[in-house]
Structure 1
């Protein structure tokens, strides 16, 4: 981990510096636990009081805020984004030393800059860019193409003929290119497997979390565009298309042939059924089940808020009787129309 003076940080990232320019920053920390060599940030105004008590050496704040005196501040438009960039400065990514471990199996010609760790397997006809990292136990199937600077952490599996762009990060346990869930049914109930002949095509600067699975296409390709960020334990079915810079949180399931636009955000445990179209700039709240296409940008929610169990049971009981209540209301309306006011 690097350490930097606060004026060096501002010199590289911009912003307005208030306070001592020689303040040394060694680490990042939340406001409530930061120490005298830490930098923190305030993005949510409801935590404003923590500025009075934090021991942080410096705090990143937004314009228009009047911070208490006696500390060092960086004023910028987006404190959380600025904090992320400071984190990159203090935690630069190290490049693994090139070389192939003795226990690795490499059946293709690869660049000298490649790092292949113990127990990894690279099949024939694989094409790697410069500075690719292949972690321990990772399997790269026949005919796979991987762009420059991409990192496959330990125990990743890339099935045959898939394509991965440059500067991607794929975390442990991810499986790229397994067969999609495609079957036809006989009259007697038996299932006939449909060969999955497509690929998975992943763009540049994509990050894929641990144990996330992306199925290959049935005939066409499954496509993950540039800049997409996928959390852990996501299931993406065959022929799904995900647009550039979309972010999807953990435990989301996306059924086959759905198309998701650019810059969307999908909350954790959301479910999206198959053959839907979701336009650009859509936000789907956590736990939402999407059952129809979304044609307009915006925030969409289809779940119940948390409440005490007894309240939920009572309200659900009312829901079960809505049909009977509606029928009674219609009958009362008919009687009122006829002038019958008797009970």
Structure 2
């Protein structure tokens, strides 16, 4: 439980109303009650404030007069402030140091590390202080994991990978599996190319459930500081993702692509291999990025939903665009000549 003035002392902002009001939870405008702290980040929901029973609200300073009489925390970005408050109210479980009797550990670990049942840690692994290795996780030989990083159940980290500090890897994450590298024989058979690079994750990286990050073929696959990857994402070999980029579920990045810093990649977006995306690019959901993007901005490439019959009809027109373009050019060229009707 925190009083409003305690929150402001920690997180900044300004109080309007009673700074001694105590709050212990965060809630939505329509569900919050006494003891809750709600937030208003979009003015289109202002009409809901009248019915809101929260003890206090996080709002922008321009709403001070409109919400006079309510207990307020005034801040330029209520949603960000809400996120900070939610972290205070809901800290992650503290590590419970010790190695479970059913874990298999072949490396010397700090006393502050927690290792759950069924976990396996191979030789030459180096873990920082306060690392948590959840049940049934596997950490391959030679891997380095930084202070405060947490692996939830069933995470697999292959050999020689590097994981930074304060990272979160959710259940089912696989780090360092072989990249998809094969050469083809004349017969059509495939010859595997050994993947000898590593995966290197920076600090404060969060990776969602069942996401995979493949090791590099020769160079490393690198995920920068502060990157956030949603569930069910595929990052292929030799990819580099710049710091503080975020990527939504089911996106896929093909081999050797370079993604800049502070990018936002929408759900089910696909990024082809061996191309570069500049810093501060937004790729909309379902977009296929098939060529490099050199400038910041929002990029979208998809078609709106339509019935199958309409799609077949419209695609038939698309197939004839080249012929139509040629006819238009011919008509334009003919119209540039003398008008026969004006002669005589």
Which bin holds the TM-score, normalised by the shorter protein?
A: over 0.9
Task: Map residues 88-237 of structure 1 onto 2, 5 A cutoff.
Answer: 88-237=87-236
Which residue number in structure 2 is paired with residue 279 of structure 1? 278
Task: Map residues 290-329 of structure 1 onto 2, 5 A cutoff.
Answer: 290-306=289-305, 315-329=314-328
TM-aligned CA deviation for residue 316 of structure 1: 4.0
Q: Stretches of 4+ moved more than 6 A in 1?
A: none
Helix, strand or coil: the match of 1:189? Answer: coil
Task: Map residues 62-77 of structure 1 onto 2, 5 A cutoff.
Answer: 62-65=60-63, 66-77=65-76
1:263-292 deviations in Å (ceiling 9; x for gaps): 111111110000011121111111111111
Following the alignment from structure 2 to structure 1, what is the Cα–Cα distance between the partners of residues 319 and 260? 37
Which residue number in structure 2 is paired with residue 17 of structure 1? 15
Helix, strand or coil: the match of 1:184? Answer: strand
Which residue number in structure 1 is paired with residue 29 of structure 2? 31
Helix, strand or coil: the match of 2:62? Answer: coil
Helix, strand or coil: the match of 2:79? Answer: helix
Gaps of 5+ in 1: none
Moved more, 328-337 or 269-278: 328-337
Following the alignment from structure 1 to structure 2, what is the Cα–Cα distance between the partners of residues 341 and 330? 20
2:268–2:286 contact (8 Å) kept in structure 1: yes
Which residue number in structure 2 is paired with residue 46 of structure 1? 44
1:104-132 deviations in Å (ceiling 9; x for gaps): 00011111111000000001111111111
1:35-75 deviations in Å (ceiling 9; x for gaps): 12211111112212112221221111112224333321111
Cα 1:312–1:32 shift into 2, 3 Å: farther
1:246–1:263 contact (8 Å) kept in structure 2: yes
Gaps of 5+ in 2: none
Cα 1:315–1:62 shift into 2, 3 Å: farther
Cα 1:15–1:307 shift into 2, 3 Å: farther
Q: Kindly report the root-mean-square deviation, in angstroms, between the aligned alpha carbons of the 2 structures.
A: 1.8
2:95–2:131 contact (8 Å) kept in structure 1: no
1:73-109 deviations in Å (ceiling 9; x for gaps): 1111111110011111111223121011111000111
Does the alignment pair 1:249 with 2:248?
A: yes
TM-aligned CA deviation for residue 337 of structure 1: 2.9
**TM-score (normalised: structure 2):** 0.94
1:214–1:238 contact (8 Å) kept in structure 2: yes
Following the alignment from structure 2 to structure 1, what is the Cα–Cα distance between the partners of residues 16 and 60? 12
Helix, strand or coil: the match of 1:59? Answer: strand
**TM-score (normalised: structure 1):** 0.94
1:51–1:67 contact (8 Å) kept in structure 2: no
Following the alignment from structure 1 to structure 2, what is the Cα–Cα distance between the partners of residues 130 and 207? 18
Cα 1:47–1:146 shift into 2, 3 Å: same
Following the alignment from structure 1 to structure 2, what is the Cα–Cα distance between the partners of residues 272 and 37? 46
1:152-175 deviations in Å (ceiling 9; x for gaps): 110000000111111111110000
